[in-house]
Amino acid sequence: MAQPTIPSFADAFAYSFDAWQRSILFLDVMRQRGEQYEEHAAQTAPHVLNYDAELVVDGRTLDRPVNYALVRIVPPEGIVVDTLKRPFVVVDPRAGHGPGIGGFKADSEIGVAMKAGHPCYFIGFLPEPVPGQTIEDIARAEAVFLETVIARHPNADGKPCVIGNCQAGWAVMILASLRPELFGPIIIAGTPLSYWAGVRGQYPMRYSGGLLGGSWLTALTGDLGGGLFDGAWLVQNFENQNPANTLWSKQYNLYSKIDTEPERYLGFERWWGGHVTLNAEEMQFIVDELFVGNKLAAGEIRTSDGTAIDLRNIRSPIVVFCSKGDNITPPQQALDWVLDLYDSVDEIRAYGQTIVYAVHDKIGHLGIFVSAGVARKEHDEFASNIDLIDVLPPGLYEAVLEPASEVAEGRALVAGEWVMRCEARTLDDIRALGGNDIEDEHRFAAAAKLSEVNLALYRTFLQPAVRAMVTPTFAEAMRRTHPLRLQYELFGPSNPFMAWIQAAAEHARENRKPAVAENPFLALQENMSQQIVSGLEAWRRTVEQLSEETFRAIYGSPVLQTALGIDSTSDRPRRPAKSPLHQELVKTRIASLRAEIAEGGLREALARALLFVGKARDGADERGFEAIRRLRRAHPTASQLTLPQFKALLRKQYFILLIDEEAALAAIPKLLPEDLDERHSAFNVLREVLEASGAIAGAAAERMERVERLFGLGSETVPFAARKSARERKTS
């Protein structure tokens, strides 16, 4: 058994000298952070974009002015964008921080989109709202921005792909339900849409509204701010979810890696400390309608003209990206809106919707937007395969990524490091992630009702007095003395006790003598850090458990639920009403499609055959779509179809197959040309596309044989499966 190393005096001296130098350098980074904070706050339009941008539309000039703007991202040197490709529009979240997180690094949502050749635009905002602006005003402004982008790219092969990060995601979804014609595929990353959803024992942030008595505290905070809600309070809510990182790990990581960490730390802090404000009315809408009320997925939000916001109106493919490691927007809050809106995948198809989701195993909330690894993997694949996502038949899919190095067939058709496959899923796959039972729904409904009561009481008895007391000077003092702002100013240039730090830090860098990695005192330091983290984590878990049990006990009380008008005997959660008009439209469309089963030509036959065989594989692979791309480029007649026309063709044939598969297949021979060589050529194209993503085997091979016979080739050639087997033996 090895004896523990006894620290020597030399070890102690080396560590002490190293620790002193690191302390000085740490304070210098804090000084730089304070200076950076003040410089950032002094800018008119502060942001953390890593790219040059040119203003396209200033939202302050619109009929209903807002503090938002549309800018075009200028491609950096060496990046060439294709004006014929659909543009990408990244919408940043206004959740307490300033804009720019979607383009914070070269490896970012903007970076990967431009790398894939797409023009990029960015929708950001100024630190202060325009007086009187509302969430609806912002939605209308964003509609103008998208109209402008579409007008600037009239020859693009599709409508803009819009990326909504976190809070921007629900804003994008609201607009897409009101103006579906403006959107290509929508990517919502880390976006909460079903705010009550979660798993017992996890994700305690959803209990906050109920434990605070509802949204009256939001109204009080807005009144104390003189009509402005300080975004620093939202940032503090995020920090409270992870006290170990907030109180210790973030700073310790900088201190322990002081020679390599400052640049990354300061870059992130530039965004993290860029607090912005919202109009009190904006924040009240967000809390009442979304956070506490959970009204979006239930279809209970209406615009000022009475229009109901129904997410089922969205016609563009929706990509949901979330993570099991995200305690701000867990998978249930990102995905359970699908369960709220639909009873089955067939109902999703009936609305013509395509929903693709991807669930990361461990990345945290901020990592969804700022992690270079996530950008190079998930966001890179979404950007590279956005056209594939756009043409997917309606339904529910999961995006599964496989390392390209492990792909044996069709490797030449893969551009990046990963291969994306969209696999068909059912609602049970989302339910398997966990979620609320009906008793939980009753508890949250009770919390929402109590919130309404408390807000009404506050507005009646306290609000007039608070507003009369608060002056602009008082409101500004409240913002300046917020704890998060003070921590930056404490180490900033306004503190005279920091004057000596810069010179001392320069001396420390010139004479830097870090302790060797084997120094036993470094191991002791690391051990102490781990114990501090463990203690803070234990505290967090205790508080979370107590919060959850308190929420469940209070709002699970039958007496309270009855007093608040909650029907605790109901066994169905809130759902948006089914529209009889939509049901009639579906019936009419089905009748129309039945009449068109025998209409069309070779294109319709190929699309129908492709979908018929592909259904046996329960998904689509990027290699097959890339094969279609290359065939369109190689055959001028095939490229006559634009991407929207190709999408319409596939969707129509997909629905025809769903309605009456046997009749649809029986009609294929009538759609084919008389010339046998043309049929051979068309069948070879079909086979090339299907084989691009791997061998055609099992049920898919049986379907391929049937298609071969429908093409009139089965009786004149060796059956497909046998010919395929023979070709494989010859190759081996």
Compute, in degrees rounded to 10, the torsion defined by CA atoms 643, 649, 651, 652.
Answer: 160
Residue 288 has which token pair?
């009442």
**H or E, element range at 138:** helix 135-152
For residues 415 and 588, give the distance between their C-alpha atoms in angstroms, rounded to a whole number: 43
Consecutive H or E run containing 454: helix 438-461
Reading the block at residue 563, the tokens are 């007093």
Phi, psi of 391 (to 5 degrees): -100, 0
Residue 379, token pair as written in the block: 């966001």
Domain span(s) for CATH 3.40.50.1820 in the chain = 53-197+230-436
In this predicted structure, the answer to whether residue 718 has a pLDDT above a threshold of 60 is no
The distance in angstroms from the start CA to the end CA of the chain is 55
The pLDDT value recorded for residue 146 is: 98
Does residue 614 sit in helix, strand or coil? Answer: helix
Is the per-residue pLDDT at 5 higher than 70?
A: no
Give the angle 59-61-64 at the CA atoms, nearest 5°: 75
Give the start-end residues of each E strand in 361-500: 395-403, 418-424
Ramachandran region of residue 82, left (φ > 0), alpha (ψ -120 to 50) or beta?
Answer: beta
Q: What's the full length of the chain, in residues?
A: 732
Largest CA distance in the chain: 95
**Those residues with Cβ within 8 angstroms of residue 662's Cβ, 6 or more apart along the chain or in another chain:** none
Could you tell me the pTM of the whole model? 0.93
Instruction: Give percent of the chain above pLDDT 90.
Output: 77
Per-residue confidence (pLDDT) for residue 466, from 0 to 100? 98
The pLDDT tens digits for 59-84 are 999 999 999 999 999 999 989 999 99
The yes-or-no verdict on residue 355 having pLDDT over 60 is yes
pLDDT computed for residue 694 by the predictor: 85
Beta-carbon contacts of residue 346 (< 8 Å; ≥ 6 apart)? none
Q: How many CB atoms lie within 10 A of CB 654?
A: 23
Q: Is the dihedral of CA 505, 509, 510, 516 positive or negative?
A: positive
Closest CA to 601 of 670, 547, 647: 670
- The Cα 316–Cα 363 span in angstroms is 27
pLDDT tens-place string over residues 500-518:
999 999 999 999 999 999 9
**Signed CA dihedral, 204, 208, 209, 212: sign only:** positive
Task: Using pLDDT thresholds of 50, 70 and 90, give the confidence band for residue 2.
Answer: low
Point out which residues pair with 401 in neighbouring strands: 420
Q: What is the mean pLDDT of residues 631-639?
A: 59
Residue 345 scores a pLDDT above 50: yes
pLDDT tens column, 153-172? 999 989 999 999 999 999 99
| Range ranked top by mean pLDDT from 144-148, 264-268, 618-622, 692-696 | 144-148
Nearest to 368 by CA among 197, 184, 168, 185: 168
415: number of Cβ within 10 Å:
15
Q: What is the CATH number of domain 53-197+230-436?
A: 3.40.50.1820
